[in-house]
Amino acid sequence: MAENEDGQEKTEQPTGKRLNKAREQGNIPRSRELATATVFGAGAISLMALGPSLAQGAQGWMRGAFQPDLTLLQEPERLLGHMGLLLLKLMWVMLPLIGICLLAAFVAPLVMGGLNFTTQSLSPNLNRMNPLSGLKRMWGPEGLAELAKSLLRVAFLGTAIGLTLTGGLDVLQVMPNQSLETAAATGLHFAGRLLLASAVALFLLAAIDAPYQKWNWTRQLKMTRQEIREEMKESEGNPQVKGKIRQMQMQLSQRRMMEAVPTADVIVVNPTHYAVALKYDGGSMRAPRLVAKGVDEVAFRIRELADRHRVAIVSAPPLARALYREGDLGKEIPVRLYAAVAQVLSYVYQLRAWRTGATPALPQLGQVAVEEFPDGSGNGGRA
């Protein structure tokens, strides 16, 4: 099993993030054997298919190249330009073959892992220039794999060329007795057979090397369980940091909630554990809104703040518990609690009027009827 620097076994398959990072760094599976076989095979087939036209073009180029130009003797400064023109004409003759080989060079990367353009692989890497790392690669598993490929290459090419030569001895033996043009055609045909046999041998080697390179690339990118856990922390966020953020969000929410308590019309309590602050403006609200709520310590702070700002506090335990469970901050109260809350607000408004002397009698709240668990899901709350 592969191990990392901490000695942990890399038993887990690489994650998508690890694979993408490797591609960004230019680390992608590549098979030199597949690239060589593709270019060589495309060149061999192109030579056989385009042979007549290439031969005709080469023959015309040679006639022009070897035809003397006497004006060059009088103007030697034109000699360099003449040579450049001849090279351009030769390149034009060979252009179809060169173009096919260039296109074939893109086939192997597409088959292995797709085209990948990155500048990170061009940046200097001191580890590549380290002699110890080079010796480790030479005598390590990668060096043994390269040695095995070299032996297979010699075996495959030797076998293919040997079989072709053995089967073509009779053709080679009659060539001395043929005319020059016939012998040239026979030799070219036999050379084409040699090229095709060599291409087949290279493709057999590539069929072994390409899967191995993909497997080895994945093996090198394997991860330990600790590395996967660290990556998940980076992707999802550190739990400690996320907890701190949630804590700050809760503190900010409570601060905003406490700022709304002095603007409330009434605080409904149960009387110690629950506290719910309600606000109602008939001109702008369809129904009362819940502006603050809390239990235990938060409920105590709400009551304390309400006392400081002289906000009415009404004890209605079932209503307080129902509002706390079913109400949402900043939202209108549930429809089923309209009647009970209207009774409480009416009592608060009458109490304000009594305090200002508008009404002579002290109002009484009476029993606030609330079905605390209408669906039968519970049987009470804190006292």
pLDDT of 118 reads 63
348-354 — which CB contacts under 8 Å span 24+ positions? 348/265, 348/266, 348/312, 348/314, 351/312, 352/312
Do residues 112 and 213 make contact, with C-beta atoms less than 8 angstroms apart?
Answer: yes
pLDDT of 237 reads 59
Half-sphere exposure of 72 (CA within 13 A, CB side): 9
Give the closest residue to 267 by CA, choosing from 254, 255, 276.
276
Q: Give the Cα separation of 339 and 328 in Å (integer).
A: 18
Q: Give the Cα separation of 343 and 354 in Å (integer).
A: 17
pLDDT of 155 reads 92
- Measured at the CA of 208, the angle between CA 204 and CA 210, to 5 degrees, comes to 110
Q: Give the Cα separation of 362 and 351 in Å (integer).
A: 7
Token representation of residue 307: 């006392």
Instruction: Count other C-beta atoms under 10 Å from residue 48's C-beta.
Output: 16
Q: Give the Cα separation of 37 and 200 in Å (integer).
A: 8
Give the closest residue to 294 by CA, choosing from 283, 306, 303.
303
Residue entry with tokens 């033996």: 173
Q: Give the Cα separation of 274 and 293 in Å (integer).
A: 8
Instruction: Count other C-beta atoms under 10 Å from residue 270's C-beta.
Output: 23
pLDDT of 122 reads 57
Token representation of residue 114: 């797709």
pLDDT in tens, 287-332: 999 989 989 888 999 999 988 888 888 888 888 999 998 888 888 9
pLDDT of 277 reads 92
pLDDT of 382 reads 54
The string over 318-351, giving b where at least 16 C-beta atoms fall within 10 Å of a residue's C-beta and e elsewhere, is: bbbbbbbeebeeeeebbeebeebbebbbebbebb
Do residues 266 and 340 make contact, with C-beta atoms less than 8 angstroms apart?
Answer: no
Spatial CB neighbours of 254, under 8 Å, sequence gap ≥ 6: 298
pLDDT of 225 reads 81
pLDDT of 276 reads 92
Q: In angstroms, what CA-CA distances link 316 with 268, 313, 331, 372, 374?
A: 6, 10, 20, 11, 17
pLDDT of 275 reads 92
- DSSP string covering 16-61, please? HHHHHHHHHTT-----HHHHHHHHHHHHHHHHHHHHHHHHHHHHHH
Each of the 383 residues of the chain gets a pLDDT tens digit; together they read 455 555 567 777 887 788 888 777 777 888 888 888 899 888 888 888 887 787 788 778 887 777 767 777 777 777 788 788 888 888 888 888 888 888 988 888 888 777 666 665 556 655 555 666 655 666 667 778 888 888 998 999 899 988 888 887 787 777 778 777 777 777 778 888 888 899 999 999 999 988 888 888 888 888 888 887 777 776 665 666 677 777 887 778 788 888 888 988 899 998 788 999 999 888 888 899 998 998 988 899 999 998 888 888 888 888 899 999 888 888 898 888 889 899 888 888 888 888 887 777 788 887 888 777 776 555 544 55
Spatial CB neighbours of 151, under 8 Å, sequence gap ≥ 6: none
Three-state secondary-structure class, residue 9: strand
Token representation of residue 290: 């819940």
Residue entry with tokens 């080697």: 205
pLDDT of 379 reads 52
